[in-house]
């Protein structure tokens, strides 16, 4: 390749979790389970027919009015009060988060994240050259008291204060932890006190297996300090690439002006409208919850059999299982040995923007069959035993 003068951001290269080594079992892919993809797309596409001129044109910058209205109805079921002017349609929630970064952050600004956090969000933030203020998690989720202490210290030292906080409070990616109501209220209070914006990414919120629903942070927001990021990728079909941001109307308008896509795909938007207006979307989500619960249980049982040394806390929903291996474990090496055995998992390193403890891995139970989950964890167990043997021989 010619020695071009690349931008610094293009130096951030890596392997996508959707690129798999041939013949391996993909426990690193948080994609939808193929048999659960809705079988109503043909029907919905036919319904688009009378609106084909609209569906085949550039969409409005903010998104189709019908879809924005349906999104308002959808989130109203979850306690979020929004009207059309509060909704921006995007190419998935990652695109919405990127627009929020473009709207609020300059290079060198600080963004608050969990430790660990969503690996793709780390990549997006690094392309914006932001700094990370990482905050720990425990069984109640986001450690808001730790954040308060760090913000007080920054304020006392006259440091530049954070502009954004990014979190996945329900069935967190990668840890699966759900943040308690008390912690959510404290996060919002801190956002109001220190004037930063919370980007609440909730792609898995509807995929709850058990336990009581906790109000979203956005549903508690009365001052416009929260932007809710949503998507149909996890509850319907990722290939539609339809997501949204919900926030203060003035903020949403500024975010819209950062778009460079000519308007999100109108055809896909119209399909989502048709599905939201029917009861088939709700039925589809119920089926997915049932299937994902089975997948989660199978993965936990397989871990107990093949890698009993791992510390695992069963998530109450979502797509992911997070494993903490004994201290001193080289998770990167385990990933390499896993590929050699025929299974792919994600190293925890990808989810730590600053210091990586080095002994964590993330698995997704969403994409593959129960049999492949069992086989994949068995292969990972073989890799684990090889890693232990190598460590003892060193």
Here the CATH number for the domain that contains residue 347 is 3.90.1150.10
**Domain end position, chosen among 225, 255, 279:** 279
Instruction: Please list, in sequence order, all residues whose beta carbon lies within 8 angstroms of the beta carbon of residue 122, skipping any fewer than 6 positions away.
Output: 113, 350, 351, 353
Q: Compute and round to an integer the Cα radius of gyration of the chain.
A: 21
Instruction: Please report the pLDDT score of residue 189 as a whole number.
Output: 99
Regarding whether 295 and 251 lie in a shared domain, the answer is: no
Establish if 2 belongs to a structural domain. Answer: no
Model confidence at 393: pLDDT above 70 = yes
Which one has a higher pLDDT value, 310 or 355?
A: 310
Regarding whether 236 and 288 lie in a shared domain, the answer is: no
Regarding whether 321 and 267 lie in a shared domain, the answer is: no
Among the listed residues 167, 126, 120, 113, the one whose alpha carbon sits nearest the alpha carbon of residue 17: 120
Q: Rounded to 5 degrees, what are φ and ψ at 139? A: -65, -20
Average pLDDT over residues 267-283: 86
Regarding whether 310 and 362 lie in a shared domain, the answer is: yes
Q: And the tokens for 360?
A: 């964590």
206 neighbors 233 (Cβ within 8 angstroms)? no
Model confidence at 268: pLDDT above 90 = no
Establish if 1 belongs to a structural domain. Answer: no
pLDDT band per the 50, 70, 90 thresholds, residue 23: confident
Model confidence at 341: pLDDT above 70 = yes
Regarding whether 53 and 29 lie in a shared domain, the answer is: no
The three-state secondary structure class of 138 is strand
Question: How many domains would you assign to the chain?
Answer: 2
CA distance 256 to 63: 10
9 neighbors 107 (Cβ within 8 angstroms)? no
Model confidence at 19: pLDDT above 70 = no
Model confidence at 282: pLDDT above 70 = yes
Instruction: Please report the pLDDT score of residue 56 as a whole number.
Output: 66
Instruction: Please report the pLDDT score of residue 274 as a whole number.
Output: 85
**Domain end position, chosen among 279, 310, 344:** 279
Model confidence at 310: pLDDT above 90 = yes
Full residue range of the structural domain in which residue 73 is found: 41-279
Of 11-25, 112-126, 368-382, give the lowest mean pLDDT range. Answer: 11-25
pLDDT band per the 50, 70, 90 thresholds, residue 284: confident
Model confidence at 262: pLDDT above 70 = yes
Residue 163 sits in a domain whose CATH number is: 3.40.640.10
Establish if 171 belongs to a structural domain. Answer: yes
Regarding whether 188 and 50 lie in a shared domain, the answer is: yes
Establish if 93 belongs to a structural domain. Answer: yes
**Domain end position, chosen among 221, 249, 279:** 279
Model confidence at 194: pLDDT above 70 = yes
Regarding whether 126 and 257 lie in a shared domain, the answer is: yes
132 neighbors 111 (Cβ within 8 angstroms)? yes
Regarding whether 359 and 322 lie in a shared domain, the answer is: yes
Task: Indicate whether this model's pTM tops 0.85.
Answer: yes
Model confidence at 154: pLDDT above 80 = yes
Regarding whether 255 and 360 lie in a shared domain, the answer is: no
């Amino acid at each position: 390749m010619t020695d071009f003068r690349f931008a610094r951001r293009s130096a951030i290269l890596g392997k996508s979790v959707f690129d798999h080594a041939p013949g391996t079992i993909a426990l690193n892919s948080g994609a939808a389970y193929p048999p659960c993809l809705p079988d109503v797309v043909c029907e919905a596409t036919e319904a688009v027919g009378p609106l084909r001129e609209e569906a085949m044109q550039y969409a409005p910058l903010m998104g189709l009015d019908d879809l924005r209205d349906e999104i308002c109805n959808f989130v109203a079921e979850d306690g979020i009060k929004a009207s059309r002017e509060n909704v921006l349609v995007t190419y998935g929630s990652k695109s919405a988060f990127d627009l929020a970064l473009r709207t609020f952050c300059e290079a060198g600004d600080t963004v608050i994240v969990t430790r660990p956090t969503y690996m793709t969000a780390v990549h997006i933030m690094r392309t914006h050259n932001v700094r990370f203020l990482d905050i720990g998690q425990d069984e109640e989720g986001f450690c808001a008291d730790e954040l308060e202490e760090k913000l007080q210290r920054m304020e006392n030292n006259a440091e530049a204060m954070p502009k954004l906080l990014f979190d996945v409070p329900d069935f967190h990616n990668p840890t699966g932890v759900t943040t308690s109501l008390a912690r959510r209220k404290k996060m919002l209070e801190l956002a109001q006190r220190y004037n930063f914006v919370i980007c609440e990414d909730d792609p898995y919120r509807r995929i709850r297996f058990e336990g009581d629903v906790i109000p979203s942070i956005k549903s508690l927001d009365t001052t416009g300090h929260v932007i809710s990021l949503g998507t149909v990728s996890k509850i319907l079909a990722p290939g539609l690439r339809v997501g949204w941001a919900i926030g203060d109307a003035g903020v949403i308008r500024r975010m819209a002006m950062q778009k460079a896509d000519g308007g999100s795909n109108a055809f896909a938007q119209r399909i989502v409208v048709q599905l939201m207006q029917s009861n088939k979307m709700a039925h589809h989500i119920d089926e997915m919850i049932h299937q994902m619960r089975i997948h989660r249980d199978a993965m936990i049982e397989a871990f107990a059999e093949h890698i009993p040394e791992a510390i695992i806390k069963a998530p109450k929903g979502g797509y992911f299982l997070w494993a903490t291996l004994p201290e001193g474990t080289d998770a990167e090496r385990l990933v390499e040995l896993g590929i050699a055995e025929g299974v792919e998992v994600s190293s925890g390193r990808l989810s730590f923007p600053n210091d990586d403890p080095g002994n964590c891995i993330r698995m997704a139970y969403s994409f593959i069959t129960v049999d492949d989950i069992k086989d994949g964890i068995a292969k990972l167990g073989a890799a684990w035993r090889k890693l232990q043997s190598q460590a003892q021989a060193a």
